[in-house]
Structure 1
Amino acid sequence: MERLPKIALPVIFLFIAGVIIVSKSAITIGSGEAGVLYRTFAGGVVTDKPPMSEGFHLVAPWNKVYVYEVRQQERFEQMKVLSSNGLEIQIDASAWFQPKYDVLGKLHQEKSEKYVERILLPAIRSAARSVVGRYTPEQLYSTKRDAIQNEIYVETKNIVDDQYIQLNEILVRDVTLPPTIREAIERKLKQEQTALEYEFRLVTAEKEAQKQRIEAKGKADANRILSASLTDKILQDKGIDATMKLAESPNAKVVVVGSGESGLPLILGNN
């Protein structure tokens, strides 16, 4: 009985030590995450093997695992850049990105967990300054927004592709100009729209006038041709034909009297 405490204490100590070791060694990688293993006594960051996948893992207690989110992420950024004529423009953009899974160890070793702040965001700002500097405020405000978005994406991707970052998209959500510049552009666009509307009306009126001239000319030509073909003999023959048709109608009660030199007969009643 006296030896029981002497046996129990080491057992308890070993049990506690085991619990601590297991708790330090057990690593759970969540959904959409991956782990980078750092071996304290065996070369540091593991870069020659794929990262640790989702699930439960046991590692030596003196090693450490750095967990990264490898799903697509979004980062919103506001930037003040200069246009081609030196005016300050605010760009609100979102970047869709994720670390490259197969080289996650190199990303951690060379760029660290702060790769977004150290690599991605500076690359986006640099690309935005370069792209926006090629356009005027009017182009940024109206016609070139989609082109600017695509150019910022391409230039940013060229920077980060060899930095172990996968850039999926850059979305330009808003372009904010100084109020005076925006108002001036809106006035100019309104004036241009009014001018285009006036020009459209002129063209429409000219086409309508041309149509009326063509129709009038056609009628005049038809009347001239008809007048040239109507002789006195033709008119007299047509009058006789009309009189005969009226006379042959059983229900007609018509009086037709010739006039001028036509000499048309007189018809009374239905006989």
Structure 2
Amino acid sequence: MKKFLLFSIIAGLIASCTVVKQGEVGVKRKFGKLSSNISDAGLVSFNPFTTTVIKVPIRTVNQEVKLNLPSKEGLTIESEISILYNIAKDKVPFILEDVGENYERVLIMNVFRSAAADVTAQYMAKDMHSGMRGQIENQIQDRMHESLLERGFIIERVLMKSIKLPAELSRAIERKLQAEQEAQQMEYVLDRERKEAERRRIEAEGTRDAQKILAEGLVREIIELRSIEAFRELANSPNTKIIITDGKTPYLINNQKD
């Protein structure tokens, strides 16, 4: 009998306590009425016959949604989107009383679907698959923030993880991207050829200018000087030569060794 009584007492103590984990808060509901007091993480005691403890996460929650979104041209885009949000701690009793424990399905998801459809309907389907995706995400987040902030929900981010375009549109975008890449490659080749042509033009101009300067510098005195130098080199050479000259310019017509 004593063992049974002790077991009953222990069971009663266990049943009258619950643990609120880190990242959660607890709110007691007694006879259907919510308490305005919030229990932080730790051991919470309560009367199991009259009271229950509702645990609500206040950490960041990731809600993933698969949704068909409309585009500006009337197409349906399959998408997978993550909603990152958290709940303001002091708003938890109000949320439970005003919306209930199913606040995510009742409120957050409905607001998200409406905001997402309104935003994507302003964009072409290809925009959701391009660099404008971030802009679309921010606009959806802003609309949700406007509707939910006063009610205690903080929308941290909206992330479009996956976008599946209609097959024909996807192929058209791929063809366009390929054409743009080919055009960029051709522009690169043309630019390289233009630079090479410019290099050759500058080189030709340099050669022409050098020849012009050389021609202008070949005056009579310089020619005579070069002739004297040539005579001197011929005189010092051991080879037999036949030279025709007018005394000014040597002209070598034979150059053989003895």
Same fold (TM over 0.5): yes
Q: Is the 8 A contact 2:91 2:151 kept in 1?
A: no
Q: Is the 8 A contact 1:91 1:175 kept in 2?
A: yes
Residue in structure 2 matched with residue 209 of structure 1 by the alignment = 197
The letter for the 2-side match of 1:108 is: L
Higher percent of residues as strand: 2
Residue in structure 2 matched with residue 46 of structure 1 by the alignment = 35
Deviation at 1:63, TM superposition (A): 2.2
2:59 corresponds, among 54, 71, 76, to 71
Indicate the RMSD between aligned Cα atoms, in angstroms. 3.1
The letter for the 1-side match of 2:194 is: E
- TM-score, with length taken from structure 1: 0.78
Residue in structure 1 matched with residue 256 of structure 2 by the alignment = none
- Verify: 1:59 aligned to 2:66, yes or no: no
Higher mean displacement: 158-167 or 237-246: 237-246
Q: Is the 8 A contact 1:153 1:169 kept in 2?
A: yes
Higher mean displacement: 225-234 or 113-122: 225-234
**CA 1:38/1:228 → structure 2, altered by over 3 Å: closer, same or farther?**
same
Alpha-carbon distance between aligned partners in 1 of 2:122 and 2:243, rounded to the nearest angstrom: 89
For residues 168-218 of structure 1, give each alpha carbon's deviation from its aligned partner in whole angstroms, at most 9, with x where no partner exists.
222211111000110011112211221222233223222221221222122
The letter for the 1-side match of 2:45 is: L
- TM-score, with length taken from structure 2: 0.82
Alpha-carbon distance between aligned partners in 2 of 1:259 and 1:69, rounded to the nearest angstrom: 113
1:25 corresponds, among 10, 16, 19, to 16
Query: What is the identity percentage for the equivalent residue pairs of Structure 1 and Structure 2?
Result: 25
Residue in structure 2 matched with residue 219 of structure 1 by the alignment = 207
Residue in structure 1 matched with residue 89 of structure 2 by the alignment = 101
User: What secondary structure does 1:240 align onto?
Assistant: helix
Q: Is the 8 A contact 1:256 1:265 kept in 2?
A: no
Q: Within 5 Å, which residues of 2 pair with 1:93-172?
A: 93-172=81-160
Deviation at 1:80, TM superposition (A): 0.7
For residues 217-268 of structure 1, give each alpha carbon's deviation from its aligned partner in whole angstroms, at most 9, with x where no partner exists.
22112212211221232122134246657878xxx757787665534599xx
Residue in structure 1 matched with residue 78 of structure 2 by the alignment = 90
Q: Is the 8 A contact 1:76 1:93 kept in 2?
A: yes
The letter for the 2-side match of 1:204 is: R
Q: Is the 8 A contact 2:245 2:251 kept in 1?
A: no
Q: Is the 8 A contact 1:243 1:256 kept in 2?
A: no
User: What secondary structure does 1:31 align onto?
Assistant: coil
Q: Is the 8 A contact 2:230 2:250 kept in 1?
A: no
Deviation at 1:117, TM superposition (A): 0.7
**CA 1:111/1:235 → structure 2, altered by over 3 Å: closer, same or farther?**
same
Gaps of 5+ in 1: 1-7, 267-271
Q: Is the 8 A contact 1:32 1:54 kept in 2?
A: yes
Higher mean displacement: 190-199 or 255-264: 255-264
Alpha-carbon distance between aligned partners in 2 of 1:66 and 1:117, rounded to the nearest angstrom: 17
User: What secondary structure does 1:222 align onto?
Assistant: helix
Alpha-carbon distance between aligned partners in 1 of 2:104 and 2:165, rounded to the nearest angstrom: 27
Gaps of 5+ in 2: 253-258
Q: Is the 8 A contact 1:87 1:137 kept in 2?
A: yes
Q: Is the 8 A contact 1:36 1:46 kept in 2?
A: yes
Alpha-carbon distance between aligned partners in 2 of 1:209 and 1:219, rounded to the nearest angstrom: 15
